[in-house]
Amino acid sequence: MNHSTNNPTYIAHVRSSDGAVQTLQTHLFETAALTKSLAAKIGLAHCGEIIGLLHDFGKFSSEFQRYIRQDTNDFDVDFGSGNHQRYQRGDVDHSTAGAMCIAKVLAKALKGGQTQLLSDVLFLCIASHHSGLIDVVNADDEFVLDKRKQKPHDKTHFDEIIKNPHANKILQSMTLQQLLAAHNEFKALIDGVLAEQIHDRQKDFYVGFVVRLLFSCLIDADRTNSIAFENPKQRHELEFHKPDWQWAIDKVEAKYKSFDKRQEFAKHQGFEQKQALGEPSMAEPDNCQTSRTQHINAQRQKVAQTCLQMAQSKQGIFSLTVPTGGGKTLASLRFAVNHAKLHDLDRIIFVIPFTSIIEQNAKEVREIFSGEGTYGEQSAYDWVLEQHCNIEPDVQTWQSKLVMDSWNKPIIFTTMVQFLESCFAGGTKGVRRLHQLTNSVIVFDEIQTLPITCYHLFCNAVNFLTTHAKTTAVLCTATQPILHRLPLVHEGVLHTPTEIVGDQSALNELFDVLKRVQIHDCSQKPQSLEEMTDFVVQKAQTFDDVLVIVNTKAWARQLYQSVAQVYQRGKVFHLSTSQCANHRKQLLAQIKNRLAQRLPTIVISTQLIEAGVDISFHSVVRFVAGLDSVLQAAGRCNRHGELFDGAKGEKGQVFLIQPDKENLSRLKTIEHGKACMLTILQKLAMPENKDKDLLEPRLMAAYFSNFVSSGAMKKLSVYPVDNYSMMTYLSGLPKHNDNKERYKLRQQPKLYQSFMAAGKAFQAIDAPTKAVIAPFGEEGKALITKLCEFVSKPKDANFYALFAQVQGLSVNVFAHEFAALEKSQALTDIDETGLMVLDERFYDDEYGLNLTGDGKMTCEIW
């Protein structure tokens, strides 16, 4: 290390393993180059280069250099070896100085156009790169960004840094041509936003989304460069490699050819969201290849062929509306790989509703891409990344921030929660991945599970990505929510999707051919627990197996206990999210095994089994809920058209019932969906509607329109925050009536957003939960033991790799449940990890989480 007063060494980072130093100049130039390449995807390459170059400019201050040296025993004479202050992380502001520098440079070099807006955007990105995006305007409509700009120089060290010759050398590397290029590319993007024929508040949202995307590029570049220094062996895998999409296409087409050769398309219809909780779907008997089954397979092939043809379309928003069991997931992969090749895209992102089904889906894709062939210097296995761990340390160290993945693979599997958090959550963790949504195909599987509170936020984000960020979106489901017909147009509605399957007549034909069930309304007279027990047992006697889906965990447990007491012919199972994923996986495997052997089986489950679970029963009983839930439940009945015994008919049987006592007061969306469904059932019971069917595609559109039109649902759909919509915070609308005139007279475009307030308020799930770790099974206990070995030790990459495995043991508990567990001393904190382990007494073989502490874990599932 050079200690010359003429040429001091400025430190950006010190490697924890060996004390090696990354110089500040090296970090700034390398981060600038990477930010430039990432931001180029949205046409802001030079803007990205500037913020990358200046983001850590404040580290040129003597105070920061003393801070970073305090634990290295290297008190450089250039920075004051007589320091007596002990610094804590965050004590020294090293982000504001760079933001102030770019504001000063732009003000001096450029005039007019979008210079002031550009200056504010770059200032915001640099100043926020440790805290997450800060507010421009706070909840009281005060311009807090202006206060940050005026922060005293003795706190930002601006005066010292601007006189530093080494810092000035960095500034001088920025040419006027670079500044002009940054202004022009930024102006082109903003002009494109302003030219859209949309509401002004949506334009303001778009401008804010530009800020968030550029910020994402900086965060990822900074983290990536830091981890490449901290772990040099990982530098190569952190580099982006353009995918060979033709290789992927060949693999997918080979899979389809294998279906033709083996005539197994029905049982190997891709990874139709197979439950990560179970084994691959059971095979049909050889003699089940009836003409009807062959006809169903032909329709699946037709869907896949249509996807192949539509992949040649220009980028935009598509819907893929296919009945459950119609092969839409593999068909969507076929669309995506061909579309990605045509438009030279970077990646395909599958957004799945639940973490529990990501593992199996990713496994199926890896199997498709297995065999000979490489991706760069990596194996085909490295094409796929699963990003499904929602258990992370409460306190994020800088090392933990580095090891979090950044979606830097060709095919990503993630959850809707992670997608929404990337777009809207505060801090820096989620937003790091946001830029990866650009120049991509995003497949939203089971889109009907999108939380209603996020309807308008989702629509605005997807509209921006598909209009301005070279992204294609595909909305997949059998029950499409009509997001382009939401009633609150000014809040933002989805651009009208192009239906891949075709027009309404094509949809009607497809749904008619793939109709495999009959739905019976038995809900007119609400039933008692005893009556429902008798009803379920009678159906099990008639059809051998029955799946019962209820609306609440309380009813799942209550009905399970009642049925299990009286049903002696076969076995009864209970499924709910009170069980960890590994627990449900074992149960589903046993259930599928029994179904394959045609053993008498009753399953009582919450809604978790509805969305995409590849399982098939002869009969299904569903508590009345929204039409989308009813149709998804029907998709678990006669899924592959396997009912061929003429004595029992060719269709599966679905029965709707209603309990006489059901408390849905805390589940407003389910409660309202049930009310809308009961209205539909009443209308269908009228003589003039006797020929109409719940399975008709048109009925879903009518149901959804009715569902979102009520005042309560309208209010929910805008993500209310303190009597305002989230769009109020993200578009910059004034929150007080006396400021509305000022809003009308304001400059446009100009930043007015409350980014940090919005980020703190945002939660993708209505009822916030906290994950606890269940000691389920011997493997689970062994995994917990491994985690405990890291107590009071450095948390390296191996530690964070365990989080993906821990996911299978997690149970999400509500605040009141967590409080009860704490009161009962049922939780043990794994020191310094933020993970809470559940006492064995509070977990049960049958029900999972047990708040009473009398749980039984005496036997394995098998």
Residue finishing a domain among 487, 511, 535: 511
Per-10-residue mean pLDDT, the chain, length 862: 60 88 96 98 98 96 89 51 55 91 91 89 96 91 90 92 93 93 96 93 95 98 91 76 92 87 50 37 42 72 94 98 86 97 98 80 83 50 72 52 68 93 93 96 96 97 98 96 95 97 90 90 96 98 96 96 94 95 92 95 95 88 97 91 60 96 93 96 87 86 92 92 90 68 61 93 78 90 84 65 79 90 90 80 93 67 34
Regarding whether 172 and 263 lie in a shared domain, the answer is: no
Report which secondary-structure segment, H or E, holds 245. Answer: helix 245-262
Both 486 and 611 in one domain: the answer is no
User: Judging by DSSP bridges, how do beta strands 843-844 and 848-849 pair with one another?
Assistant: antiparallel
Q: Which residues contact 154 (CB under 8 A, 6 or more apart)?
A: none
| Same domain as 144, residue 54 | yes
Residue 567 Rama label (left phi>0; alpha psi -120 to 50; beta):
beta
For residue 601, give the DSSP letter: E
Does residue 858 lie within any of the structural domains? Answer: no
Whether 478 contacts 635, CB under 8 Å:
yes
Contact 822, 599 (CB under 8 A): no
Q: Which residues contact 857 (CB under 8 A, 6 or more apart)?
A: 775, 776, 840, 843, 844, 845
Backbone angles phi, psi at 817, to 5 degrees: -70, -40
d(CA 537, CA 521): 18
Q: What is the DSSP string of 112-168?
A: STTHHHHHHHHHHHHHTTTT-SPPSS-TTS--HHHHHHT--HHHHTHHHHHT-HHHH
Strand partners, 183: none
Domain carrying residue 729: 715-734+744-761
For residues 713 and 452, the answer to whether their CB atoms sit within 8 Å is yes
Q: What is the CATH number of the domain that holds 182?
A: 1.10.3210
In a domain, 577, yes or no: yes
Could you tell me which of 136, 156, 219, 309 has the C-alpha nearest to residue 747? 136
Q: Are residues 520 and 506 part of one domain?
A: no
- What sign does the CA torsion over 138, 140, 146, 148 have? negative
Find how far residue 188's CA is from the centre of its chain: 30
Judge whether 767 and 453 are in contact, CB under 8 Å: no
Cα separation, 268 vs 282, in Å, equals 10
Give the CA-trace dihedral at 288, 294, 297, 298, to 10 degrees: 180
Do 161 and 177 fall within a single domain?
Answer: yes
Q: Is 855 part of a structural domain of the chain? A: no
Q: Which DSSP helix (H) or strand (E) runs through 456?
A: helix 455-468
CA pair distance 862, 841, nearest whole angstrom: 20
Amino acid of residue 44: L
Whole-prediction pTM: 0.90
CB count in 10 Å sphere of residue 393: 16
CA distance 283 to 72: 63
CA distances from 788 to 184, 663, 770, 772 (A): 54, 41, 20, 15
How many CB atoms lie under 10 A from the CB of residue 764? 22
Taking Cα atoms as reference points, which of 26, 17, 20, 28 lies closest to residue 1?
Answer: 20
CB 158 within 8 A of CB 171: no
Same domain for 532 and 597? yes
Q: Are residues 507 and 532 in the same domain?
A: no
DSSP secondary structure of 283-320: PPPGGG--HHHHHHHHHHHHHHHHHHHHTTSPSSEEEE
CA Rg, the chain, in Å?
Answer: 29
Residue 29 identity (one-letter amino acid): F
pLDDT score of 365: 86
d(CA 698, CA 691): 14
**Residue-by-residue DSSP string for 380-441:** GGGGEEEE------SS--HHHHHHS----SSEEEEEHHHHHHHHH-SSSTTGGGGGGGTTEE
Two tokens, residue 281: 């779907």
Query: What span, in angstroms and rounded, lies between the C-alpha atoms of 553 and 559?
Result: 10
* Residue 631 belongs to domain with CATH number: 3.40.50.300
| Residue 45: both structure tokens together | 């390459």
CB 587, CB 608: distance < 8 Å? no
Evaluate whether residue 206 is within a structural domain: yes
Q: Tell whether 492 and 523 lie within a shared domain.
A: no
19 Cβ partners below 8 Å, 6+ apart?
72
Cα 776 from Cα 809, distance rounded (Å): 7
HSE, CB side, 13 Å, CA atoms: give it for residue 668.
14
What's the pLDDT score for residue 791?
Answer: 67
Supply 606's token pair.
């919450």
Q: Which residues contact 534 (CB under 8 A, 6 or more apart)?
A: none
Residue 58 resides in a domain: yes
Per-residue DSSP letters for 3-27?
--TTSPPPEEEE-TTT--EEEHHHH
Cα-Cα-Cα-Cα torsion 773, 224, 420, 412, nearest 10 degrees, comes to -80
Cβ count within 10 A of residue 676: 22
* pLDDT of the residue at 389: 57
Residues 249 and 228 in one domain: no
CA 641 to chain centre: 32
Give the pLDDT confidence score for residue 542 in this predicted structure: 95
- Asked whether 805 and 776 are in contact (CB, 8 A), the reply is no
What span, in angstroms and rounded, lies between the C-alpha atoms of 611 and 607?
8
**Domain assignment present for 166:** yes
Last-in-domain residue among 511, 542, 566 = 511
How do strand 571-575 and strand 545-549 relate by DSSP bridges?
unpaired
The phi and psi torsions of 835 (rounded to 5 degrees) equal -90, 135
> Would 857 be classed as within a structural domain?
no
Tokens standing for 589? 């495997």
Backbone angles phi, psi at 594, to 5 degrees: -70, -40
On whether both 326 and 308 belong to a single domain, the answer is yes
Burial class (CB in 10 A: 0-12, 13-18, 19+), 120: buried
Same domain, 667 and 722: no
The answer to whether 9 and 21 have CB atoms below 8 angstroms apart is yes
**What total of structural domains would you count in the chain?**
5
Whether the CA torsion 32, 34, 35, 39 is positive or negative: it is: positive
Taking residue 132's Cβ as centre, other Cβ atoms within 10 Å add up to 19
Tokens of 202: 């949506």
| Domain annotation covers residue 471 | yes
Structure tokens at 92: 């020294």
The residue from 473, 490, 511 where one domain ends is 511
The pLDDT of residue 274 is: 40
How do beta strands 545-549 and 619-623 pair? Answer: parallel
Asked if the peptide bond before residue 749 counts as cis, ω within 30 degrees of 0, the response is yes
Q: What is the pLDDT of residue 861?
A: 36
For residue 802, the one-letter residue type is: L
- Residue 722 and residue 573 in one domain: no
Round to whole Å and give the CA distance between 1 and 74: 9
